[in-house]
Structure 1
Amino acid sequence: MKIDEDIGKRLQLVRKIYGLTQRELSRRAGVTNGAISLIEQGRVSPSISSLKKILDAIPMSISDFFTIDLVASDSIFFSAQEMPDISLDKKIMMCLLGGSTKGRAIQILHEYYQPGSDTGETMLRHHGEEGGIVIKGSIEITVGDKKKVLNAGDGYYFSSQIPHRFNNIGEEVCEIISANSPPTF
């Protein structure tokens, strides 16, 4: 395959990932629709300045254009059965989304706290940030010297370096979708 074809296929893939038509990209970049079409077909090799002008309309740098991995190498979608339970307690279930994904920068959990369950008397503390939204039930969250009961629809966000604790003081299962970065599991 020729370099022109590689650039053309890459441009077409980038354009589609960003949800742009050839016409919209050409309008944004100030080039003709035909120019975009010819580049994508590998029939014309754009100059660096032309390619930069087109990529600025996306926006994307030339270095990103040539180095970004446009094809997902890991799974993208996960069924409930593909999310392992990483709980350490029988009363708390934590299902990890994308646990097998290499180089994860974020951890997303689907958490279930049985009535009366808590994360322990010792406060949790780790690097990063975390946040979540209560989907069902209620949970008492202690962060440092602050304590609050959150109900369905309420959320939280804090620095994970502050000692914290989760406690289901309600009478039904509490369900939370949470995220923290960097991953701790």
Structure 2
Amino acid sequence: MEFPKEEVGKRIRHLRKSQGFTADDIAKKAGVSQSMISQIERGQVSPSLETLWKMSHCLKVPVFSFFEANNQQDVTVTRKNEQVELKRIRPNATYQVLSPSFGKQISLFKLSLAPGEVSDNPLVFHTGEECGVVLIGSIQVEIDNKFYDLDEGDSIYFDSHLSHRFVNKSPQTSIAIWAMTDPM
């Protein structure tokens, strides 16, 4: 599935305008150029997840809300071909959104890390809580300078306000299922 840059751009523009911000306001707060914001909003570029994360904090919305239709349903099914893959600034670390969370309190996604890959550098922190389980391989979770080694079937929970990142210490691509409240 291709990155839905046109839809993402429209949602970002709508959120920005509804909060009374100019593209220049968001550019300055996010540390990117005004032309980059304009290109994102017009669907001309596929921004990195880092850029989307910065923009989400400026707009005070979860980053995953940029990828979801604005519908408040009691039950939502996301088909495999509808799942959106988010590429990090790191080329071999991806998140795949498994369930929409717009207006909801939890997001579910699949984390894939190539051998030796690090999810975030520097470490990230945000509001909410996280938990995950390793399905394939092994992942080292760094949380506030402490390291937790997780093998297949192992799970972890932590408060997201603690600085954290994930490292694949195994010789194969590692895959985990992850849930977050108040997602980035």
State if a TM-score over 0.5 links the two structures. yes
Please say if 1:122 is aligned against 2:122: yes
Other-structure match for 1:161? 161
User: Which amino acid in the other structure matches residue 97 of structure 1?
Assistant: L
5+ residue gaps, structure 1? 1-71
State the superposition RMSD in angstroms. Answer: 1.7
Percent identity between the aligned chains? 27
TM-score, with structure 1 as normaliser:
0.56
Instruction: Give how far 1:140 is off.
Output: 0.8
Question: 1:86 aligns to what SS in structure 2?
Answer: strand
Aligned length: 112
C-alpha change, 1:104 and 1:151, in structure 2 (3 Å) is same
Question: Which whole-Å CA distance do the structure 1 matches of 2:79 and 2:146 have between them?
Answer: 36
Other-structure match for 1:93? 94
Larger of the two Rg values belongs to structure: 1
Question: Which whole-Å CA distance do the structure 1 matches of 2:179 and 2:99 have between them?
Answer: 12
User: Which amino acid in the other structure matches residue 93 of structure 1?
Assistant: T
Q: Residues 138 and 169 of structure 1 are in contact (CA less than 8 Å); yes or no, is this contact kept in structure 2?
A: yes
TM-score, with structure 2 as normaliser:
0.56
Q: Residues 143 and 165 of structure 1 are in contact (CA less than 8 Å); yes or no, is this contact kept in structure 2?
A: yes
Other-structure match for 1:107? 107
Query: Which residues of 2 match residues 28-177 of structure 1 at below 5 A?
Result: 73=73, 76-88=76-88, 89-99=90-100, 101-177=101-177
Question: Which whole-Å CA distance do the structure 1 matches of 2:87 and 2:105 have between them?
Answer: 20
Question: 1:81 aligns to what SS in structure 2?
Answer: helix
Measured against aligned partners, the alpha-carbon deviations of 1:152-171 in whole angstroms (never above 9, x if no partner) come to: 00011001111111110210
5+ residue gaps, structure 2? 1-71
